[in-house]
Amino acid sequence: MTGQQRVAIVTGASGGIGRAVAERLAADGMSVLVHYAGNPARAEETVRAITEAGGTASAARADVAEESEVAALFDLAEQRYGGIDVVAHTAGVMHLSPLADLDLAEFDRLHRTNVRGTFVVDQQAVRRVRQGGAIINFSTSVVKIALPGYAAYAATKGAVDAMTLILAKEVRGRDITVNAVAPGPTATPLFLDGKDQATVDHMASMAPLERLGVPEDIAEAVSFLAGPARWINGQVIYTNGGII
């Protein structure tokens, strides 16, 4: 890729971790297509932050679970920037409930976005990403630490782990890495919504570093996997400050 502008698609980049990832990859010198699902104003804020810092970015909408819309998103990246080297799939939804009480309509919504959405995005990514590129999915540390209330959400991310590990083997010979980042408790609206201060404080205390993660912590891991980390492949990287 020497001498060629690298290009990244970041899904869910209108806020939270996705925005931090988009800004970081742009700061690393990549042209970034900022994907959003339903909030164009916030997506344009991400684009503006990148361009005001001297980077290159534009925004586009798609439902990650719809094949035609995701294909059009990838088409757009190729048309605007000439190709695709990195796909960071941060888009996802979360709903918390004890397993016994969960409305199955919520389970289906989680599955559609987190499992089908990852499958659809990965399908386009593996067809389009250029040699030397990287596909980075998003899992969660809750798959390992097994917090009550997270059964449905963690189940969808367990599926993401499986897809990631298998896809890494299916791209043999193409010099493309496939990994997943698994954040722990991170101070974003997705995480903080509905939690009282005592719960937030408890979860902050779980890490030996005694704080919540911030989106920039997660973006740092994505930057590593998207750029220099060519010998890390087929892994789920727990990005959580040391929570076991």
Residue 178: strand pairing partners = 135
**CB half-sphere exposure, 115, CA atoms < 13 A:** 15
Backbone torsion region of residue 132, taken as left when φ is above 0, otherwise alpha when ψ lies between -120 and 50, otherwise beta: left
Distance CA 82, CA 119 (A): 24
Written as six digits, the tokens of 192 are: 């903080």
SS3 for 88?
Answer: strand
3-state secondary structure 34-71: EEECCCHHHHHHHHHHHHHCCCEEEEEECCCCCHHHHH
- H helix or E strand, kind and range, residue 9: strand 7-11
Chain-centroid distance, C-alpha 76? 19
Residue pair 228/25 in contact by the 8 Å Cβ criterion: no
Residue pair 185/212 in contact by the 8 Å Cβ criterion: yes
E-assigned strands of 164-206?
Answer: 177-183
Work out the angle at residue 117's Cα, subtended by the Cα atoms of residues 116 and 122, and round it to the nearest 5 degrees: 100
Any catalytic annotation for residue 153? yes
Catalytic residue among 36, 81, 150, 153, which?
Answer: 153
Catalytic sites, residue numbers: 153
